[in-house]
């Protein structure tokens, strides 16, 4: 079978015949998704993080924001980016974390003319992302039914707390709520006996994981569209995503019917695999097999424990966890953490420090892998902002960092006048009426 593949890069056409793939070099400088246009109607974290990932991979992402105010997270600080005089700007660190590689267009979605602008943007778009309450956008003619009638090829992804259907569909959903309702807090934190209580994870992981699942769904729908010519609606829920990544803990319950409890830093099915007390603080030992446990016991000078029937196999160590862990802590308290880590690394026993974020970003491996990137930003007194790099490393079509997180409405004029053809007079009229907003 032979077929023809046409790749469009904003006016440039490249055609390959007889092969399922275009020349990878064509994508190398602009990213693997450079032929995709995204209209991003999301705010907070789940949707913006998904759109940022698409942008990092080369997609043209147009972020729609409320004139004057913008994404809610712009006000979620301190910390804020500081200007040349050391004063806080409107750009929060929270907003910066999920809005790179986007153009900000400020449009009032509640106005008929604002809705018409979105309709025109969507006419040649590939993807729409939104995270309004279920059914909310129908009143503005911005729901899937309305927009797919304009553009049948549109892949439309809705992100909500609980999905478009079910008894909770109308409920607002926030990461913290979903961590509690979805079970992850019930297995996070130290046990009651150790003075612990259910604890949320220190970042909005339910939001972030939902955003990652959303990107997988979006790209799958784009793939199907290349065969069918039609887009589709993707219904993503934080609650669903949270349950999906309960992983081994969720399967332990489904397999046994026993509700797992909180184990602090310990692992439910591997021992020893937790934090231990050194003479100067805590560090991590993660023995994944019996051989590693034997090496640990040799370094600790307790070889007899490796042959003790209570600890000989991982199954034995799980059954006798409460006897083993105090013995190990008694050993590890005798030396500093760095000494343990050096000795264990040389022996091939997985271990590591518990780094604070200053140590994370200065770690040689993190530096080498590009964990911190720096981009120009007009609001920053230094002229630049530091951001967290994308972890995807692709040999032929790497991610790219083309645009720093935008100011509210920074690209309204550019997009509406240059791409939609609005005149200066029409733009001024819409701006005066509050339908659109310029950079602020």
Q: What is the pLDDT of residues 326-365, one digit of tens each?
A: 999 999 999 999 999 999 999 999 999 999 999 999 999 9
Report the pLDDT value the prediction gives residue 361, as an integer from 0 to 100.
Answer: 98
What class does CATH assign to 273-354? alpha beta
**Whole-prediction pTM:** 0.92
Average confidence (pLDDT) over 188-206: 96
Q: Do 399 and 390 contact (CB within 8 A), yes or no? A: yes
Question: Where are the alpha helices (H) located in 301-415, listed in sequence order?
Answer: 303-306, 314-319, 321-332, 337-347, 357-362, 364-368, 412-413
Distance CA 406, CA 63 (A): 9
The predicted structure's pLDDT at residue 248? 96
Burial call 320-334: b when 16+ CB within 10 Å, e when fewer: ebeebbeebbebbee
Task: State mean pLDDT over 375-382.
Answer: 96
pLDDT in tens, 389-428: 999 999 999 999 999 999 999 999 999 999 999 999 999 9
* Band of pLDDT at residue 28, cut at 50, 70 and 90: confident
Residue 23 has pLDDT above 90, yes or no: no
3-state secondary structure of 113: helix
**Exactly one of 126, 143, 175, 207 is catalytic; which is it?**
207
Q: What is the pLDDT of residue 19?
A: 42
386 an active-site residue?
no
pLDDT of residue 280: 97
Q: Could you tell me which of 270, 274, 272, 252 has the C-alpha nearest to residue 261?
A: 252
Looking at residue 415, the DSSP 8-state letter turns out to be I
pLDDT tens readout for residues 33-88: 999 999 999 999 999 999 999 999 999 999 999 999 999 999 999 999 999 999 99
CB atoms within 10 A of CB 392: 12
With bands split at pLDDT 50, 70 and 90, how would you rate the model's confidence at 26?
low
Domain residue ranges in the chain = 31-245+372-437, 273-354
Per cent of the chain over pLDDT 90 is: 93
Q: How far apart are CA 216 and CA 188, in angstroms?
A: 27
What DSSP letter does each residue of 206-232 carry, written as one string?
HHHHHHHHHHHHHHHHHHHHHHHS---
Give the DSSP per-residue string, 40-55.
EE--SSHHHHHHHHHH
> What's the CATH fold of domain 31-245+372-437?
Rossmann fold (3.40.50)
pLDDT at 27: 74
Q: E strand or H helix at 291, and its extent? A: helix 290-300
Tell me what the pLDDT averaged over the chain comes to: 94
């Amino acid at each position: 079978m032979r077929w023809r593949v046409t790749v469009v890069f904003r006016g440039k056409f490249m055609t390959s015949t007889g092969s399922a793939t275009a020349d990878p070099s064509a994508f190398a400088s602009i990213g693997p998704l450079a032929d995709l246009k995204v209209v991003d109607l999301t705010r907070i974290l789940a949707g913006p993080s998904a759109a940022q990932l698409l942008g990092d991979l080369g997609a043209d992402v147009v972020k729609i924001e409320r004139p004057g105010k913008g994404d809610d997270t712009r006000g979620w600080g301190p910390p804020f980016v500081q200007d040349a005089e050391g004063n806080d700007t409107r750009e929060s660190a929270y907003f910066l974390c999920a809005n790179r590689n986007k153009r900000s267009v400020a449009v009032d979605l509640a106005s008929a003319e604002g809705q018409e602008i979105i309709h025109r943007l969507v006419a040649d778009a590939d993807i729409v992302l939104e995270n309004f309450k279920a059914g909310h956008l129908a009143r503005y003619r911005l729901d899937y039914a309305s927009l797919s009638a304009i553009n049948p090829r549109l892949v439309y992804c809705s992100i909500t707390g609980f999905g478009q259907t079910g008894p909770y569909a109308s409920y607002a959903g926030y990461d913290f709520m979903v961590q509690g309702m979805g079970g992850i807090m019930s297995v996070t934190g130290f046990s009651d006996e150790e003075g612990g209580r259910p604890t949320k994870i220190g970042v909005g992981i339910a939001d972030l994981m939902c955003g990652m699942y959303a990107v997988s769904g979006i790209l799958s729908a784009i793939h199907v569209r290349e065969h069918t010519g039609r887009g589709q609606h993707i219904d993503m829920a934080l609650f669903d995503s949270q349950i999906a990544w309960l992983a081994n803990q969720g399967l332990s319950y489904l397999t046994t019917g026993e509700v797992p409890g909180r184990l602090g830093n310990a692992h439910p099915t591997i021992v020893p695999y937790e934090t231990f007390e050194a003479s100067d603080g805590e560090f991590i030992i993660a023995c994944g097999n019996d051989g590693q446990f034997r090496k640990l016991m040799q370094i600790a000078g307790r070889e007899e424990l490796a042959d003790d029937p209570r600890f000989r196999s991982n199954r034995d160590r799980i059954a006798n966890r409460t006897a083993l862990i105090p013995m190990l802590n008694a050993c590890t308290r005798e030396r500093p953490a760095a000494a343990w880590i050096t000795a264990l690394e040389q022996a091939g026993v997985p271990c590591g420090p518990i780094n604070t974020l200053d140590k994370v970003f200065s770690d040689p491996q993190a530096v080498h892998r590009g964990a911190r990137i720096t981009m120009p930003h007009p609001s920053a007194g230094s002229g630049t902002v530091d951001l967290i790099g994308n972890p995807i490393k692709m040999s032929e079509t790497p991610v790219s960092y083309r645009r720093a997180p935008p100011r509210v409405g920074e690209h309204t004029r550019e997009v509406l006048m240059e791409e939609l053809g609005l005149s200066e007079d029409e733009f001024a009229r819409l701006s005066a009426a509050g339908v659109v907003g310029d950079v602020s």
